[in-house]
Amino acid sequence: MTVAVLIEGLTVEFGRFRALNDLSLAIDYGEVRGVVGPNGAGKTTLLDVISGVSRAKAGRVLFDETMELTRASEAEIARSGVRRKFQKPSVFEALTVRDNVAIGLGAKPAPDGPEKVARMLETVGLAGDADRLAGELAHGQKQWLEIAMVVVAEPKVLMLDEPVAGLTDEETERTAALVKALRSPGRAIIVVEHDMDFVERISDRVTVLHEGRTLFEGSMARARADAAVVDVYLGR
Amino acid sequence: MSAAIAPKRSLLARAADDRMVVAVALALVATAAVVAGGGLSGYRVNTIGQLACFALLALALDLIWGYAGILSLGHGLFFAIGGYVVGMHLLERSVAETGVTPDIVQFMGWKALPGWWGPLESFPVALLAAMGVSFAVAFVFGWASFRSRVSGVYFAIITQALVYVAMLLMFRNDTGFGGNNGMTGFQVVFGVPIQDPAVTKGLALASVLVLLAALVACRLLMIGRFGRLLVATRDDEVRLRSLGYETLRLKLKVWCLSAVLAALAGLLYVPQVGIINPRVLSPELSIEIAVWCAIGGRGRLAGAIIGAVLVNAVKFALSASLPELWPFVLAALVVVVALIFPNGLLDLGKWKPTLLSRSRALEARDATP
């Protein structure tokens, strides 16, 4: 199994605050990795660095064992096959649902683009809303639309930042099924989420971050039993 | 709202915009026909020509503000570039054809027009120069700003500073473009004396037709993929970048296109008023362009044209009788439109009963005091 994302000695600072502190982490192709931890642990910062939104002070992020992401632009990273759903649903509200997904195909869409978009809309259950403006959608639908926008380009690394925040139980259920369906041998999926049951259902392994470092790595069941994890995050 | 009617809303809104663009385009065709017909007084024809130039300027601003979300408060700069270049062209032609020494030569203390103006005697060269210089200035300024990710109000302030700097520069005699007096005393346009009614008519007609062509071309561009990507940039630029798009390039393209259109507007405007001076670079004029767009309705092209024509028509009428009232009228107009039609006067169309959906009715009710 090859490593999809290899992070070595990654440090990110915002002024005097150290969001990530000499973090090292390896995420394999084929796995779904849950990243959990208390607020301020560095979860979103980690995704920001991988996707090129934030810059690292030290360390490196290697994609596909060849491409150094800390020096690439956001657009280059996205084009190489690393895509990310943001924490706050980020869709283009003044465009139709269909246009949103079509834009997700990238700057040079293949000729079978329209079919891919149609299939993607079926997958996330938005086919009936294809001609509505994205701004008219409900919160949960926006979450799915954004997932559709990033998944339609068939990314090799898929990052989901709080995909079930603010969703109902039923919507969370459907999202879990969707993430499981997206799991494939040629893709690594990284999920940042506070909903522990959701993380347990979808993840192969979890990484618990605390103060910018890895506190624990392994199965969710073992994380729940780990004294340090319980202490800083899960509570008694 | 029931799911059955929901999908139609966005299509309806788009169809309404299309109808407005078609209506404005037809109105422009009709205006061109009336101007060509020759029933109007020279004053009326000249007014129509000037209004068309302002409308083209507003259209240029709407491309970047309404679609890409980039507010420029310095578009007078590009308008002035077109104006100054055509001014130089007209002076060269006047000297070549009448032999009369223009005033600018005397008050600048020259013996003749500067030698490097020579090539501008050819209109195609002047046209290319106006478009080329406005493009180059826009490219350098846009590249530097967008690359540093300057956006929103900061970008607007910088554009305002830019136009102000340009104004101060052009007020100096040493800059070499006539200083405070600018350029005037044009004698001929395409070989015809400038007082000839045919010149007035030809310029007005050209302005209306260029505006029409620009409206149609911009509309086609904006409903296509490029326009949708601009709207995406406006809605969430970070999202678009992290889908693999170089938003810098998108913004730079539309910014330069807008600058060239503004320069064309200036190029058509100056022969019709017979003068170009640094006052077109005043920050107030550049702010006013944004006001025209806001009053008509942003991001719909037709709105910019309606706003520019409406505001300037009122301005022309008032400046003849009560010029001191104008600032108050403009301010009142802005406040009224902002309160009742936050998206511009084009929202008047939404009040048609056929377009009323439940949420629109609520919007209308909420918006009316």
Judged by a CB distance cut-off of 8 A, whether residue B194 touches chain A is no
Gap from A64 CA to chain B (nearest CA, Å):
18
| Phi, psi angles (nearest 5°) of residue A91 | -125, 165
Q: Do B244 and A78 count as a contact with CB atoms less than 8 A apart?
A: yes
B240: chain A residues, CB-CB within 8 Å: 92, 103
CATH number, position A222? 3.40.50.300
B13: chain A residues, CB-CB within 8 Å: 133
Paired residues of A32 in beta bridges: A189
Please indicate, yes or no, if residue A67 is contained in any of the structural domains.
Answer: yes
Please indicate, yes or no, if residue A52 is contained in any of the structural domains.
Answer: yes
Q: Do A78 and B229 count as a contact with CB atoms less than 8 A apart?
A: no
> Are B71 and B257 a contacting pair, CB within 8 Å?
no
A93: chain B residues, CB-CB within 8 Å: 235
Tens of pLDDT, residues B191-240: 899 999 999 999 999 999 999 999 999 999 999 999 999 999 999 999 99
Judged by a CB distance cut-off of 8 A, whether residue B245 touches chain A is yes
Tens of pLDDT, residues B128-177: 999 999 999 999 999 999 999 999 999 999 999 999 999 999 999 999 99
Neighbour-count burial of B112, counting CB atoms closer than 10 A to its CB (0-12 exposed, 13-18 middle, 19+ buried): exposed
Paired residues of B177 in beta bridges: none
Tens of pLDDT, residues B335-349: 888 888 888 887 776
> What are the angstrom distances between the C-alpha of A104 and each of A81, A145, A195, B170, B229?
12, 10, 27, 47, 11
Name the pLDDT band for B355 (thresholds 50, 70, 90).
Answer: very low
> Are B366 and B37 a contacting pair, CB within 8 Å?
no
Judged by a CB distance cut-off of 8 A, whether residue B9 touches chain A is yes
Rounded CA separation B345/B291 (Å): 12
Judged by a CB distance cut-off of 8 A, whether residue B235 touches chain A is yes
Report the number of distinct structural domains present in chain B. Answer: 1
Tens of pLDDT, residues B250-280: 999 999 999 999 999 999 999 999 999 999 9
Q: Do B244 and A94 count as a contact with CB atoms less than 8 A apart?
A: no
pLDDT of residue A98: 95
Mutate to test the interface with A, among B5, B237, B243 (most CBs of A within 10 A): B243
Name the pLDDT band for A112 (thresholds 50, 70, 90).
Answer: confident
Name the pLDDT band for B5 (thresholds 50, 70, 90).
Answer: very low
Give the pLDDT mean for B304-316: 94
Please indicate, yes or no, if residue B309 is contained in any of the structural domains.
Answer: yes
Helix, strand and coil in chain B, % to nearest 5: 80, 0, 20
Q: Which domain holds residue B213?
A: 8-367
Please indicate, yes or no, if residue B33 is contained in any of the structural domains.
Answer: yes
Q: Do B232 and A153 count as a contact with CB atoms less than 8 A apart?
A: no
Q: Which domain holds residue A74?
A: 3-91+153-234
Name the pLDDT band for A139 (thresholds 50, 70, 90).
Answer: very high
Name the pLDDT band for A8 (thresholds 50, 70, 90).
Answer: very high
Please indicate, yes or no, if residue A230 is contained in any of the structural domains.
Answer: yes
Q: Do B244 and A96 count as a contact with CB atoms less than 8 A apart?
A: no
Please indicate, yes or no, if residue A112 is contained in any of the structural domains.
Answer: no
Tens of pLDDT, residues A34-60: 999 988 899 999 999 999 999 999 999
Gap from A147 CA to chain B (nearest CA, Å):
12
Judged by a CB distance cut-off of 8 A, whether residue B4 touches chain A is no
B10: chain A residues, CB-CB within 8 Å: 96, 131-133, 136
Please indicate, yes or no, if residue A133 is contained in any of the structural domains.
Answer: no
Mean pLDDT, chain B, whole residue set: 90
Tell me the ipTM for this assembly. 0.91
Q: Do B243 and A78 count as a contact with CB atoms less than 8 A apart?
A: yes
Angle at the Cα of B259 from the Cα atoms of B347 and B342, rounded to 5 degrees: 20
Report the number of distinct structural domains present in chain A. Answer: 1
| DSSP H/E element including B59 | helix B42-62
B7: chain A residues, CB-CB within 8 Å: 128-132
Please indicate, yes or no, if residue B1 is contained in any of the structural domains.
Answer: no
Which residue in B has a C-alpha nearest to residue A86's C-alpha?
Answer: B239
